[in-house]
Amino acid sequence: MSDLSERRVEAPARAALRAEAARRDAADPLAPVRELFAHVDGEVYLDGNSLGALPKAVPERLASVVAHEWGRLRIRSWTESGWWQAPERVGDRIARITGAEPGSTVVSDSTSVNVFKALVGGVRLAGPERDEILVDAETFPTDGYIAASAARMTDRRLVPVPAAEIASAAGPRTALALVNHVDYRSGELRDLPGTTAAVHAAGALAVWDLCHSAGALPVGLAEHGVDLAVGCTYKYLNGGPGSPAYLYVAPRHQERFDSPLPGWNGHRDPFAMESGYAPAEGAARGRVGTPEILSLLALEAALDVWDADGVDLAAVRAKSLELTDFFLRCVESVLPAGACEVLTPRRHERRGSQIALRCPPGTDARTVAEALAVRGTVIDHRPPDVLRFGFTPLYTSFADAERAAADLAAVVGPAIGGEDGAEADGPQVEAV
């Protein structure tokens, strides 16, 4: 390394930030939980908002399921190993994280399938006189696709509305509103209590997508009177790639909830094999077909990290905000002013657990993300120019945040002609 590089590595601003990160990690009450996860040496992983890290307990649990429950007990495991009850059992564990009532959440199928159940079932709850579905205009694309399909199938009109305007847009014709709790691009946290109350005041139902919030911050489904909610489990809940999603139906709606996918698993007496459908009681009526047992039980093992000492949603949320504040300060310390535009709101009440930055002009987000990965910092991006840094408080450290900012400066700094305060060696991005 050159003398210049040495001086840049130990620039005063970065040295102070590294020292602060070390102090904060030493005092972090959630630091012991980090050891419950598998880590790659030398890598900073800030993509838990796409795929959570592997909890160390999962491989052993899966090996036992495969070798003993499937390999030896085989069909008997549906009863002897509790496979049959797993969708509701794991649902209750997720309910504790989302602030939902016991017996309100079932784990099965994909997020997309559960969005479809919630929308069509919600329209049926709302009644025939309400002919409009509001949808978050900035929603994750699949939610929008399914909302459009649900509207066609139920002969309703789909109305895309900016999330901040849904509360005022709801009216006497509104059946329900589908909103993302955290925007997947910007990391903006939406006003769940206020929007839900406004939608209810209009006589409609509130349906929330929790994919980018559950496991990173308090949700309060019961406290805030949410009607229906869905979410994936492979992000902040660390359930693994393709792990099954969940559906929440508020207890007050369960008796009338009419699922558009009435599969045999959601029947009140599945093994009676009746020709007519009679829904099960409670959350189980959200089931459709045979549960995804291997991934479901991997998720159940992954959720054990929430039983560790000191893990509660207040601590998780506090650390999330501290991490993202610290990361922003690091970025502003080592990058020239205005080099990357911050898309995520600064106000805590409007921030999820993600920081989204817009690349410098003339710089491609994919190229930046790939260069960061070579340096050992793994993030996500959204074309053409958005970088997403996901912070999972259970395993992300303050040292990770500082290192990611320094690597970002090393990658994009030369492209804008700035001093980055970080090691100059390694891949950099050229302005195009």
Active site residues: 140, 209, 234-235, 388
**Greatest CA separation found in the chain?**
79
The H or E element spanning position 386 is strand 386-390
Neighbouring C-beta atoms of residue 9, cutoff 10 Å: 18
Query: Positive or negative, the Cα torsion across 22, 24, 29, 35?
Result: negative
Which pair of tokens denotes residue 61?
Answer: 């649990």
Q: Are 182 and 213 in contact (CB under 8 A)?
A: yes
Residue 9: which H helix or E strand, with range?
Answer: helix 3-9
Q: Is 138 helix (H, G, I), strand (E, B) or coil?
A: coil
Query: Taking the CB of residue 39, how many other CB atoms lie within 10 A of it?
Result: 16
User: Hey, what are 94's tokens?
Assistant: 């997720």
DSSP 8-state symbol, 301? H
The values of phi and psi at residue 312, to 5°, are: -145, 165
- What are the phi and psi torsion angles at 235 (to 5°)? -95, -105
For the chain, count helices (H), then strands (E).
15, 13
Supply the DSSP string of 196-222, one letter for each residue.
HHHHHHTT-EEEEE-TTTBTTB---TT
